[in-house]
Structures are given as structure tokens and as C-alpha cells.
Chains A and B, each alone.
Chain A
Amino acid sequence: MVDHAQQLADRVWHRYDRKERLIRYAVLLGTLMLVFWAVRDIDIFWPWVWDAPNQMSNLGARMWPPSAAGLSNILNALLETVHIATLATFLTIFLALPVAYIAAQNTTPNRVCLWLGRFILVSSRSVNTIIWALLFVAIFGPGVLAGILAIVFRSIGFIGKLMGEAIEEIDRRPVEAMEATGASKAKVVAYAIVPQVMPAFFAIVILRWDINIRESTVLGLVGAGGIGVILQGAIDTFAWPTVATILIAIIILVLIGEAITSLLRSKVL
């Protein structure tokens, strides 16, 4: 007679069955091979890697202590950065809302508009702000306009996509009620759609403003205005203590931006 109790006690508990285990090992093996290939093939001079901690502490030592010279310059550049971010976010609103309207399934006039809207959103989001900046610097020359346009073009995709999703999630009933009373298209938008997406709109715009502040800190590296211009200048002249001051100023700016954002969001939502 078989000893059932013993058999039960001998059974080992497994978290995964055989198929799950095989898939896991295959994924793991594939990842390992990919990493192995990347490490072998990448064009890195390995002695530099082992030397990197040294080099970085060296750089850190050269940055310390941060220098207060040129602080008023830095503050002016920071203000310019904030202006670029804010003006760009403001301009984006006018461009993104129509795109969101035609890119939302339930408000788009027809399929052509839907795909046009989707195309605008996708191409806007796929190109990084700094690449947009590169393009606009080539067109309009170095300066804040290139920076503002770069941020506008990147933000259209972000605000448009999230607003489109907000429009798609509205309650249909107010829209149907308005349509049943014979309201015009413009009135349906103003009275049945806008009030429903208003909170989402403010939340999205505030979020994007916060992101745009971070993005506008780097525009200057390709010549598109803001604090990045003097950061690049300080790095090019090896003025490391000034670089440290600029970096600290950026951290403070970003933290202030985050504080304002969370305050505004708690008021809106």
C-alpha cells in the first residue's frame, strides 16, 4: 500500500509550471545574449570605464565650492527659461485643442480628420524637444523663438493626446440631451463637452508646464535660449564653480515648479 501522507509530504511546491518556466528561461537567455552582444560590440574604451569614478570625483572637486559670481546673470537666464516654458505652454493650448477635438473618436467630423489628428499627435510626440529645437534654430536662427516653437511643437502631441482621451471619456448623455433640443454644434461643444473636460484640461496643462520647465533648461545647449546657453558657456570655458551654481539653480527652479504644480493640481482636482 502506498503511503499517501508520505507522498504528499515529499511533494515539492513550484511557483511556475513547466511551460511558464521554459518561457522565463527563454526570455532570460534572450536578454543575456542581447546584453552580451551589446557589451562586446559597443565602442567603449574600457580603461576609461574603470577610471570613471576618479574622473567624476575630480570633476566634483573642481566644482566645489559653487561660485556666486554672475548670480544675477544666472537668475535672469532662469527667468528667461520660465518665460519660454510658460509662453510655449500658453501658445500650445490654442494649437492642441483643435487637434484633440479632431483626434477624439466621438467628436471628430470624419475619418480623414481623425487620421490627420492622430498623425499630428504622433509625429509631435516622436520628435524630442531638443531635436525640434535643432530644426527651429536652423530655420529662425539661435534665440528664444526657436526654443518656444520647439516646446510648442513637442507639447501639442502631449496635451492633444491626453485631451483627446479626456474627450473620449465624457458622459454622452449631456451631448445627446443638447442635440435632442436642437442645439448647434458650437453650443454642444460649449455646454456639453467643455464643462466635462475642464478639470482634465487644467490638470494636463499644469503637468505639461512642469515638464516644459525641465525641457526649457536644455534648449540653450543647441542655441535656443534659456539657462542652457550660459550653462554651455560655463562648461566651454571650464568655469566649473559657475557650472555648480547653475546646476543648483536648476534644481531649485525644478523643485519650485513641482511645488507650484502640486499646489495648483490640488486646487483644480
Chain B
Amino acid sequence: MTPSDSPSPPRTWKKPPFIANPVIRYGIFIVAAIYLVWAFGSLPFNWARISEGLPRAARIFSGGFPPSLERYELLLTGFKESFQIAILATLLGVFLSIPFAVMAARNIAPMPIYVIGRAVIIISRSFHPVIVAILFVAAVGFGPLAGILTLTLYSIGFVGKLLAEEIEEIDWGQVEAMRAAGAGYIATLYYAVFPQILPRQVGLSMYQLDSNLRASAVVGIVGAGGIGGTLMNAFGRYDYDFAFAILLVIIAVILLSEGISGWVRKKIW
């Protein structure tokens, strides 16, 4: 018998689908399609205004190029303030994140304290910094103070969460050794817990400084100080060449700070 007249017809191989069950697979497609149509249909698009977009975009970009650094003093003041907000907020946030992280670590905090610590971290992470910023602007007025308070809260949420996870993963032997030697709670924290999380905390602080610098550029949009306010004003006054110059400098500063913080973290870890 030659291969050509073998009884079975030539078989073709088919790629196994990612979701094996066909009902679920097609069900997901159909649900997704219905959702997309519904969501798209329910959103209030202002098509008349949108159709003016392209000529407007052309006007904005031709107005924006070349970017103008004529009012570089305003730019420098804005950046200096953003930088100061980021430094102070990082410092405050990182210090305050330590007690909240200790509270929110299941292995060293008693249950009621743990719940409080977690709640603080969850609430401060739920809100976008810009929302927090408008609340602080409403409470303490326009200016960098509102920005510092906002970013401090933001840092507590982020650093506190990661630090709490780090504390939950420490080597328990050192804590037991300290306790066996009769050390108190504070001494145990100071000598057995903190040394284990310190490198991580320094790395997180650098990351947070970088992240706060980014965020400090946007809290200004709602009046909480820094370069964002300058940017918002430039947009408001149709001063697009200055706005584009600010945007370019923001991108450059963020790339630089990302580079520096990445380098420092690589050195530490």
C-alpha cells in the first residue's frame, strides 16, 4: 500500500483556542460587542464640535511650533516650586508611611490596628491625586501647601502599601531572637524589623520622589502649586508656543528623574 491511497484523508492542524470552552469563548465575544455598542451609543458625543477638531488641531500645532522659551522665568519658577513640593511631600510621606505600614502589616499589628492601617492606605489610594488636590485647595487655599498635603497623602498610600507587604515577608527569626532576649516592642521593631526593610524603603523613596515629581506637574492644574498652574494658564490664554515649551521641558525633566531614580535603585538593590 502506497501512502497516496491511505484510508484517512489528509488532516489539517488547528491552533487550540485560548479559551477552550466554545460557549464561553463566543459568549465573551458577544457580550463584549454588545457592551461596546451600548457604551458607545450612550456617551454624549458632540459631533458638531468634534468635527471642528482637525482645523483646530492644525491651528494649535502651528501656534505651538516652534515652542517659545521667551518667558523662561515663569517656567523656572514653576519647576522650582514643583520640585520643592515633590521633595517635601516625599519626605513627609515616607516618614508617615512607616507607622501606617507597621499598622497595616498583619504579622506585627494586632487585628483592630491592622484594620485601621489598611483602611487609611485603601482610602488614600482610592482617590486620584488631582481629586485630593481640589479638596485640599478648598480647605487650605491655593498654592503649594495644598500640593504638598496632596502628595504626602498619595505617598503614604503607595509607600505604606508596599512597605506593609515587605514587612509581612520579613525573616521572622530575627524577631524571635529579639523577643527571646526580652526586648520590648519598639526595640524589636527598631533592631529586627527596620533593618530588613530599610533597603526597600530607600528604593521606594526614590521611586516615590520620581512619581511625586510627575504628579506635582498635574496638581497645579487645579491650583495646588507648581508647573501645572503655569501650563494651565498657558493653555487658557491660547499661548500654545509657551505651553508646548512647558510640555517638552516636563518630558525632559521626567526622563531625567526616571533615569536618576532608576540608577540609584539599581545601586541599592
Contacts and interface: CB of A to CB of B under 8 A. Distances in A.
B189 interface: no
Contacts of B123: 251
B81 A42 contact: yes
B170 interface: no
B118 to A, nearest CB: 12
B130 A255 contact: no
B261 to A, nearest CB: 14
A87 B15 contact: no
B222 A45 contact: no
Interface in A209-223: 214-215, 217-218, 221-222
A44 interface: yes
B1 interface: no
Contacts of B131: 217-218, 221, 228, 231, 247, 250
Contact of B80 (A41, A58, A84, A135): A41
The residue in A35, A38, A58, A232 that gathers the most chain B C-beta atoms within 10 A of its C-beta is: A38
A90 B31 CA distance: 14
The residue in B44, B60, B138, B143 that gathers the most chain A C-beta atoms within 10 A of its C-beta is: B138
Interface stretch (A67-75, A138-146, A173-181): A138-146
Interface string A99-110: 000000000000
Interface in B1-52: 15, 18, 35-36, 39-40, 42-46, 49-50, 52
A130 interface: yes
A155 interface: no
A134 B128 contact: no
Contacts of A44: 143-145, 148
The residue in A35, A90, A145, A218 that gathers the most chain B C-beta atoms within 10 A of its C-beta is: A218
Nearest to B49: A141
Interface stretch (B104-112, B160-168, B178-186, B249-257): B249-257
B165 to A, nearest CB: 15
Interface in A187-202: 190-191, 195, 198
B46 A134 contact: no
B121 interface: no
B16 to A, nearest CB: 9
B254 A235 contact: no
Contacts of B46: 141, 143, 145
Of the four ranges (under 10, 10 to 19, 20 to 34, 35 or more), the interface on chain B belongs to: 35 or more
Given A86-B35, A140-B49, A130 B88 contact: no
Contacts of A51: 140
The residue in A79, A131, A235 that gathers the most chain B C-beta atoms within 10 A of its C-beta is: A131
Contacts of B85: 42
Given A55-B140, A59-B135, A143-B46, A215 B36 contact: no
B114 interface: no
Contacts of B122: 255
Contact of A126 (B35, B56, B57, B254): B254
Contact of A84 (B43, B128, B217): B43
Contacts of A56: 136, 139-140
A39 interface: yes
A85 B91 CA distance: 33
A232 B255 CA distance: 32
A224 to B, nearest CB: 12
A144 B250 contact: no
Contacts of B135: 59, 243
B128 A131 contact: no
A221 B247 contact: no
Given A42-B81, A126-B254, 18 more contacts: A41-B80, A48-B141, A49-B145, A51-B140, A52-B139, A59-B135, A59-B138, A83-B42, A87-B43, A126-B250, A131-B250, A134-B235, A141-B50, A144-B43, A214-B126, A217-B128, A218-B131, A235-B138
8 contacts: A49-B140, A55-B139, A86-B35, A126-B250, A135-B235, A195-B18, A221-B130, A221-B222
Interface of A: 34-35, 38-39, 41-45, 48-49, 51-52, 55-56, 58-59, 79-80, 83-84, 86-87, 90, 122-123, 126-128, 130-131, 134-135, 138-141, 143-145, 190-191, 195, 198, 214-215, 217-218, 221-222, 225, 228, 231-232, 235, 243, 247, 250-251, 254-255
8 shortest A-B CB distances, which residue pairs? Answer: A141-B49, A83-B39, A38-B84, A126-B251, A140-B53, A218-B130, A42-B84, A218-B128
